[in-house]
Amino acid sequence: MNAEIVTNCVVLGFDCKRIQKTISLLGLEAEHGQHAERLRSEFIEGKAEALVSSCLDALAPYEDFLLIKENIGVESFKERWIDYLCGFGQNFDTPKYFEDRLGIAVAWAHKRVPLGVLHLQHCLIQQALVDSLLIQCKLNPKTVWPLVDCIFKITSLSMYLTVEGYHLVEVDELQKTLDRLNKEASQLHQKVATDQLTGVLSYSTLMDTLERQVNKAKQNGSSLCVVMADLDFFKKVNDTYGHLVGDIVLKLTARRIQAAIRSFDMIGRFGGEEFVIILENTDLALAKIIAERIRLGIAGTPFHAKKFEIDITISLGMAMLKKDDHLETLLERADAAMYKAKKNGRNRVAVADNLEATS
């Protein structure tokens, strides 16, 4: 099934009701269709090229006319202008007429022809038609005026549709620019929010996230646990294998921690080889299980970094939010528990306050 073509009329909302409203506001009636037919047959047919050429001569000194030469070409612009003039006012109350005029404006807007040039184009052809009418036809005012009135109103409709079509392109380009800026802002935010080495939350984002979670837990009366994790003897890895290998180990550590925690848990890099895991709606008993799963995930399998297989362990300290806690004190208690785990032999989990280590 072919996709429905979205026309300029559809995008701008020119349905039959709006088309009728537009021509009514401009004072266009059925009799103007008859006058337009007379204009085409008596004053435009066979003379369109000469009329357009005279208008082009008048437009040529205008400095923006250079854009027509560069972006479209004078002959191409002239041909489209002649086509427009030959269809002057023909079936002006139909969607096709509106679509054709909008399409011309959209095409010129994409070619970077200034709207002012297009406005002058309509003014010049309007004046050329009126002059031709007055020169060629020595009719009484009652006969001439309806034709002049038709020229003015059809030209007004053309100008209106030119502006609408032109602005459609401008709005589209502005939307594309806005989408690009939003994408760049999102990418920048993601870059700032993410630790560039490990892909977990950056330090600043980690702190902001933890502060929000602390406030949320206090307001809701829910439980919140924090795990501070630090690789054991990581300096030895850097000294032995080099910092590039050390970076790989940090990346793999972050992945293994992410694999061990739940999908809604949050992990961030605290600094160096230290990571912080935020466990929302989690009591100490469950936090111990998760922390132990992290420990086993790190220690259970050697790290493959370049051509090396590296055995490494991790020490973890846990703390559960207390009523009188704030962000700093919660982290301090988790940090103290982590150092207690290291003091007790590393590769273990320690809990803040009672500091009871488990291996």
Question: Residue 58's Cα: distance from chain center in Å?
Answer: 43
Mean pLDDT in each 10-residue stretch from start to end of the chain (359 residues)?
Answer: 63 90 94 94 92 89 83 88 92 93 88 86 91 75 86 94 87 80 78 88 93 95 97 96 96 97 96 96 96 97 94 97 94 96 96 56
Phi/psi class of residue 82: alpha, beta or left (left: φ > 0; alpha: ψ in -120 to 50)?
alpha
Position 114 scores a pLDDT of 86
Rounded CA-CA distance 122/55 in Å is 10
Rounded CA-CA distance 319/283 in Å is 10
DSSP structure class, residue 292? H
Provide the CATH number for the domain formed by 203-351 in this structure: 3.30.70.270
Q: What's the token pair of residue 45?
A: 């047919």
Question: Residue 230's Cα: distance from chain center in Å?
Answer: 39
Position 3 scores a pLDDT of 44
Residues of the chain with CATH 1.10.490.10: 8-185
Position 140 scores a pLDDT of 65
Distances (CA, A) of 217 to 229, 330, 342: 22, 13, 29
Q: Which is nearest to 249 in space by CA: 341, 318, 300, 313? A: 313
Helix (H) or strand (E) holding 226: strand 224-231
> In this structure, are residues 337 and 228 in contact, taking their beta carbons and an 8 Å threshold?
yes
Rounded CA-CA distance 101/88 in Å is 10
At which residue do the structure tokens 């039959």 appear?
16
Active-site residue flag, 273? yes
Q: Which is nearest to 190 in space by CA: 168, 205, 171, 175? A: 205
Catalytic residue, chosen from 273, 280, 292, 309, is 273
Position 311 scores a pLDDT of 96
Residues of the chain with CATH 3.30.70.270: 203-351
Secondary structure of residue 357 in the 3-state scheme: coil
Rounded CA-CA distance 58/163 in Å is 22
> In this structure, are residues 198 and 136 in contact, taking their beta carbons and an 8 Å threshold?
no
* Topology of the domain covering 8-185: Globin-like (1.10.490)
Starting at the edge strand found earlier in the chain, the sheet holding 266-271 runs 266-271, 274-280, 224-231, 314-320, 349-351
Q: Which is nearest to 165 in space by CA: 89, 99, 84, 90? A: 99
Position 176 scores a pLDDT of 82
> What pTM was computed for the model?
0.56
